[in-house]
A and B are shown apart, each in its own frame.
Chain A
Amino acid sequence: MNEGENRMKLSSAVFAVTFVLALTAWFILGPLSSSMAAEQAPGRTMAQQATKDAELWITTDHSKHEVLQQTFTSGPQVTRACVSCHSEAETQFHKTIHWTWKAGENEKGVQMGKAAYSLNNFCISANKDQDKGCYSCHPGWGSKTEATNCLVCHGKKEIKWEESFEDYNAFLEESEEDPDLKELADEIQSEIQAAVQAVTRPTRQNCGSCHFYGGGGDGVKHGDLDSSMTNPNKALDVHMGLDGQNFDCVRCHTTELHNISGRIYTAPAYTHRKSLIEDDLTSKITCESCHSSTPHQPGSKANDHTDKVACQSCHIPTFARVNPTKMSWDWSTSGKTKDGKPYKNMGAYGKHDYLTIKGSMKWEKNLIPEYFWFNGSIQSLTAADTIDPSGTVALSYPLGDMHDKNSRIFPFKVHRGVQPYDKINKTLLTPLLSGPNGYWKHLDWQKGLALGAKSLDLPFSGEFDFVKTTYVYPTTHMVAPKDNVVACTECHIRGESRMANLAGFYMPGRDHWALLDGLGWIMVLGALAGVTLHGLGRIFTKKGNGGKKGGE
């Protein structure tokens, strides 16, 4: 070898070594740098900063206010005491949906809301306030609407107000004859006063006293809200968990003039996705508010998903993780009796799967949500809408589609029902259930349905049948710790993908073009067969490597 050749070999060796070193550095430092960059995801750090100092200071001790030390004999008297200082509170509150149960008109001019024409596939309708059973969740005193019971949301102590006032007044009256009863009356009064003076900002307990029990029982309606959320652990909900952030509902459901942020029927919970960095006065109702829209480690593929996939889709792997939730309700089987009497049958999870007054129902736990494109609005039918009873009727369904940049793939609980409809008018029917004339009393559909239609001033032909319906709840609570997220392959997989029902786009791992794959493998196998035959030919002619060069 001459000198020039040596020099060239040397320089090419140096080049190769440098190249290999650079590649090694790229392979090792690439993944390492992102894991070293921050110990936790930036979105988490941001959220922690946005919500630190959650301990708010207060300037008043309600037990020291004389007006709250008076003798209370009725609910409205308590309200008057509250508004003697908080002069505008009740006026504000009376304009909110929590009081009116009305959600404005839909695009057809039909009034929405529990106190209007909205319906579901649970107890179907509140019959414009005529179904008094629903009023256990109205924030007045008992079923009356003359004054607000501020303490439903602001009371730290849970007491039975109606009963306490009744007992107090009765004992006081009777104590004129039996002085011993005065002591009992005083005891009740001091309980009432203690409850009146124990004022708080709304806690999970307050909101939960209605929202965990919607539909007439624990966990009936929402799959992600039930009594397990009063004192959840972090595994159930990272935000509200006692060993997590211990948030109250209002930490995210921020309020303005007693209007509490959140979705109201079709009205979305938010119209703009903004983080607190972009707008420090924005509501905290979205995940993005605190976590930003790219919360994961820089370079993480998860950040690339946030434009199409809602945070909830991955971070709430299942709902109803502790308590069961009702998944279906078939009204058509109601009315059966045993020995001429109504009965109940106990099913799984200690929940009834049949009640004479309600029909058949299914309870389930730890459920995988169904996924739909969702822009934040839910379209719902009203009792005034006509339906097509030949198929399943969607009483409510998420709005949004894959081409809308404000839509995301979002997880839902879908409650399936079978409920009465008018065969002639093609409308859903709204039976009156509770009360002396309600269906639950007499089990006569004709009567219950007629009274129900009358309560809403809607026609009823007298001919009815049952139709299958669906009703959706967005799943947004019960956010699991980061180790318990939905794995890539639960969606990016052939056949059993969580998103198998979402069509119209290509998802790696889930989708393939069978024709191409088929032809492709034929080509590869054809090549294999070809070279095998060629090789066999060479072996049999025994001339395959007969001193030839070239080729390859």
Chain B
Amino acid sequence: MEGNLNNIYLYTRYERFWHWLQMVFIGILLVTGFEVHGLFTWLGFETAVTVHNTVGLSWLIAFAFFVFWMFTTGEWKQYVPTTKKMLSVIRYYSWGIFQGETHPFPKRKEAKHNPLQRLVYLSLAAFLLPFQMITGLLYWGYNQWPAWGLDFLSLKWIGILHMFGAINILTFIVMHVYMTTTGHSLSAHVKAMITGWEGVEEGVKIESWEKAERS
């Protein structure tokens, strides 16, 4: 649309790889999980369980790498919640976006996420996903509960909590996928997550050190 976009390298190769790998994992987990839950028959219960367990454990291991990456690169700072400008972001999505206003919080290398994203992604990465992994791991380890000293747990409640997590993740995905269409073009955000480069409108101040240090 309008002219001058500066391309900035926003997402590193690992970050992009992680995003799409996690997408595949979560996709498979949701489908096989819902099959195990009895919603439909596709792979067959037994295969669905095997796939779900294998992918679930893989996710757990891969997630450890992500956590490691977060802390070694200092990227965790991107997720520190803030209330600053939060209202203006909410106002933008519920009003401004229909008026053709610009986003009140343009992406920058050292601040990839707007306050709303920070909160949502922090909730996701620090709470919802670990919650799902923990309930999943407990579910998977059901037969070891006595050995782990966890026989006070109830499979019914672990099952319910795990399903609760799954529904929340699915709800997130619905919103998340929709939000990707709100960039400067419908596919801009998706492209950015594939190539790493996001167009940022000219005039947004990008520090020179920032450009030099991108990797």
- Report A's interface with B, CB cutoff 8 A: 5, 8-9, 12-13, 15-16, 19, 23, 26-27, 30-31, 301, 304, 307, 487-489, 492-494, 505-506, 508-513, 516-517, 520-521, 523-524, 527-528, 530-531, 534-535, 537-538, 541, 543-552
Contact = CB atoms under 8 A, between A and B. Distances in A.
Contacts of B58: 23, 26-27
B138 to A, nearest CB: 13
A332 to B, nearest CB: 42
A493 B38 contact: yes
Given A513-B160, A546-B100, A547-B184, 6 more contacts: A12-B13, A19-B17, A489-B41, A534-B93, A543-B100, A550-B105
B132 interface: no
Contact of A505 (B98, B155, B168): B155
Most buried by A among B37, B99, B182: B182
B158 to A, nearest CB: 8
A510 B38 contact: yes
A520 B172 CA distance: 12
A549 B5 CA distance: 10
Interface stretch (B75-83, B122-130, B196-204): B196-204
Contact of A516 (B143, B160, B201): B160
A527 B176 CA distance: 10
B93 A551 contact: yes
A-B interface, 10 closest residue pairs, ranked by CB to CB distance from nearest:
A520-B167, A543-B100, A506-B156, A531-B178, A550-B103, A546-B100, A548-B103, A527-B174, A541-B98, A304-B143
Contacts of B180: 552
Nearest to B167: A520
Interface of B: 1-2, 12-14, 17, 36-38, 41, 44-46, 49-50, 54, 58, 61-62, 65, 89, 92-93, 97-107, 114, 117, 142-143, 154-156, 159-160, 163-164, 167-168, 170-171, 174-176, 178-186, 188-189, 198-201, 204, 214-215
A547 B188 CA distance: 11
Contacts, number: 176
B17 A545 contact: no
Nearest to A545: B185
B97 A547 contact: no
Contact of B98 (A8, A489, A493, A537): A537
Contacts of A301: 46, 49-50
15 contacts: A27-B54, A30-B54, A301-B46, A489-B44, A508-B36, A509-B37, A524-B170, A541-B98, A543-B97, A545-B183, A546-B102, A547-B102, A549-B107, A551-B92, A551-B182
A513 B93 contact: no
A538 B98 contact: yes
Contacts of A531: 174-175, 178
